Amino acid sequence: MSEHEIKVCSLDELADPGAKEFEFETAQGKDYGFLVCRDGQVSAYVNSCPHTGAALNWAPDRFLTKAGDQIMCGVHGAIFRIEDGHCLAGPCEGRNLTPLPCRVEDGAVYVSVKGEQA
């Protein structure tokens, strides 16, 4: 399957700390990912909890704890490290979110995804 890069948004559209969901095409159809920004660092993950595969956010773009220092799954409350998506507590403790390669260039955020080119 080919890998290609999509421009998700400009860096200005991301709060710090903050998160933003996005969609992309795969051979199987649409899939969803999210960006997380904290202390100027941006990471991207597939929006699928390792516990059940459900989307993590309980409302649009709401992926973080109240303090904004960790990712929280809105379904059963699993807590993940922002930097590497490792689950620190909850029903999937010790497992990991699926990272997506991501970079910032000229104020825009790009993510590499596997699948069909849009």
List residues near ligand FES by CB under 6 A. Answer: 49, 51-52, 54, 73, 75-76, 78, 90-91
Name which of 27 and 88 has its Cβ closer to ligand FES: 88
3-state DSSP assignment of residue 65: coil
CB 38, CB 31: distance < 8 Å: no
Name which of 11 and 55 has its Cβ closer to ligand FES: 55
Work out how close the CB of 104 gets to ligand FES at its nearest, in angstroms, rounded to a whole number.
28
Q: Which residue do the tokens 């991207």 mark?
A: 44
Work out how close the CB of 2 gets to ligand FES at its nearest, in angstroms, rounded to a whole number.
30
Q: Within 10 A of 68 (CB to CB), how many other CB atoms are there? A: 16
Distance from C-alpha of 6 to C-alpha of 21, rounded to nearest angstrom: 13
Work out how close the CB of 73 gets to ligand FES at its nearest, in angstroms, rounded to a whole number.
3
